[in-house]
Structure 1
Amino acid sequence: MGRRRVSTGTEWEPKVGYSRAVRVGNRVLVSGTTATDEDGNPVAPGDPEIQTRRALEIIREALEEAGADLEHVVRTRMYVTNADDWETIGEVHGEFFGEIRPAATMVEVSGLIGPEYVVEIEAEAVVPADE
């Protein structure tokens, strides 16, 4: 079974040794994703709504490049620096996943890769064999 890697082209992927997403067979695993612009700079420092939206947009793009879509997502994990933001983050998650309703986890952490980030999201998808 082959391995297909999806890259966003940031300098960190080869330095750290990771891919934005990896597809093996019918599974697509998307790495922890923060809200960054095309140059890898933070988007909307400290804003949970905008950061959640941007992270999920990046995840959707990675899934599509790997031959999947949001409808194939079966699990998400959300790491947040302030659990009090759960409702805002959850509402944006709901906008993207609505009736898909993947298994989801939200965990409060003491910090992310930089102090400007307040949310990081992972996703796992399973693409049906006929797609």
Structure 2
Amino acid sequence: MDLQPTPVSRRYTVRITHRPPLDPVVEGIAPVLRLHAGAQGLPHVYADGRLCLYEPGEWKTDMPVASSILPWASEWLFHYEIWLVTGAWTGGGDWPSVDQEHLGAAIADNDPGRASQPAAPVTDPPTSVAY
């Protein structure tokens, strides 16, 4: 899926994978997300590269991906572009790269058995995706 946060923004390709009842997973595919000069890592991404779009439990299974996750991903990209220029994240929220409990909670919310395991790459097609 291609997203362009503003008319003057770059176009970004993101992959949204959704396997109900798990939360949707959003990954930036292209272009490669660069770092602000001097930054050690991207803000508001999980250790496995998934974009952090919402707090654990904020997204509910009855929320359509097209009217929740998709605009949230576009908003994340908007704040990413500001961060890339200024070095300041304007999107608010917790930062899972620093707050590892947030990452563990997000994984545990989806599958309590995986809370202490690293995320595995997705290789099989999603069971449903809504756009």
Q: TM-score, normalised by structure 1?
A: 0.29
**Structure (1/2) with the larger strand percentage:** 1
Identify which of structures 1 and 2 has the higher relative contact order when contacts are C-alpha pairs closer than 8 Å and 6+ apart: 1
**Structure (1/2) with the larger helix percentage:** 1
Q: TM-score, normalised by structure 2?
A: 0.29
